Structure 1
Amino acid sequence: MQPTGPRPTGPRPTGLSSIGPSPTGPASTDTLATGAGTAPAAGRAKGLAALYYGIAFHLCLLVFGLTSLAWSLPAGLLHRLLPRRWGEPLGQAAIATGFRFFLGVMRLTGVLRADLSALDALRREGGLVIAANHPTMLDAVLLVSRLPRAVCITKASLWTNPFLGGGIRLAGYVPNDAPLGMIRRAATAVQGGRQLMIFPEGSRTRQAPVDAFHRSFAVIARATRAPVQTVLIEAESPYLRKGWPLFRRPALPLVFRVRLGRRFEPVADPDRFVARLESHVRAELGGG
């Protein structure tokens, strides 16, 4: 929607839209030539922009794939060789560095505009549960790029993914395949001073602003007595939302904003705790 306001009072613009009776005589051939060339020039510019963004978009995907694969192979070996007290901090920092590099390429090419600065306030905090809404598949990349000590709860299928599996295992991320085991491992990470990053919706949002929250994060917070920091991800693009294919190019640039919500101390009743957090996140994202 274009802003409204008073009509401009300056001279009429040149081009086809200004052709008409003139108080000083007929329109000149220069004016006609300028107007005739406007549409083709605009079309060429639009075509060049589309070509550029198409190349830049697929270049970014290539960078992500190559860097992920290049780290996954040695990380899988290091996971077997290094003790956890050395391997996990190394793995977490390496993933954060790789994600930061990937987002830097996206910014440099104009594919991405993202304000992630609010996350810097959490960078040095430990023993914290971070609960974020989950609009797109890029959410973990955005958050982890600024949180090098984060441990994520991930899909179990990613542990055997050739591009991500080695890095995930080395970093000590937590698979979501067995609920009790997941809660135990997540609690251990929080008690060890790490930041546990979890998406309480369980998967990407189907019905905006958020889907119903699961209670696992509340159980973990109660078991560890760790505060829960809500994080709000605002995404303007439909790219990589539920059902959007990886290689289908959206309108660019992608625009994201991440901000901090309220911090909650755990309570004895997980269901009441979940309801409070979900209500807060829903209200902050404009859902009531």
Structure 2
Amino acid sequence: MTLIHIFPGQGAQRVGMGSELFARFPHLVTQAESQLGWSIRELCAQGPAEKLSDTRFTQPTVYVVSALSYLAHVRDSGEVPALFAGHSLGEYTALFVGGAYDFLTGLEIVAERARLMAEAPPGAMAAVIGLGYEAVRTALLEAGGNDVTPANLNLADQIVIAGRPEALDHVAPALKAAGATTVTRLQVSGAFHSSLMAEPAERFRAFLDGYRFDRLRITTLSNVTAAPHEQETLHELLGRQMVEPVNWVGCMDYMLGQPDPEIVDVGPGSVLARLVERHRAAGAPVGGPERLR
């Protein structure tokens, strides 16, 4: 059996999350709040939901709750996973538990990532259901949607696209005409994992240059390559992750290709667990494109 832990990204947050974890790890929460300058416990307990969904607050909060969830799992079970993966923001939690950096260093990196992403040009994202990756790309090209690109490959027929809000409105009819059953806007404030993140990504790369990551003790997957991180390319791939699509299908293929995989969704919500089960039920591994751009 191969035990695998996966960690969610932005969108998993909800008011009320983490209360039992904060009580179990008060020293870590206090250190995190001191570093951030605001109360994670208060925000999670009281909201408002609008503030919790603000990228600047969402990412550090989900990182902390997911990290504490992992520590609680290990403390209760005594089992240490053999493989980690995370979706977008969740990759940073995976790298913390994989050994690349300590808890507070990861929080510092995540908080800066969130700040830079929140300052990006206005953008939007939408989930396209019922079309595969190549069909989405073709429809976008035929619609003249050069400013709209795939951002997340969540399932073989569930692709998230990103771009300027007006550009997403322009391409939606073409996607539906191509066979998409739905094109639904996501409740996010930016076009994450797209070219609109180029300037924040450059600043983030420069920020990451100030860190020397430890050698990973446990295999951790990259969203960009859907393969295990290598020490020599950690900085590069984290910079690219902000502007390149999340190949979650490729990550799921890798995980489901392990001997007798047991995949546990660790952190708030269970979106990733549902994606894994749907992918498995569809006959995974089905293979994803090696590169999505």
Q: Same fold (TM over 0.5)?
A: no
**Which TM bucket (shorter chain)?**
under 0.3
Q: TM-score, normalised by structure 2?
A: 0.21
Larger RCO: 1 or 2 (CA < 8 Å, sep 6+): 2
Which one has the largest radius of gyration? 1
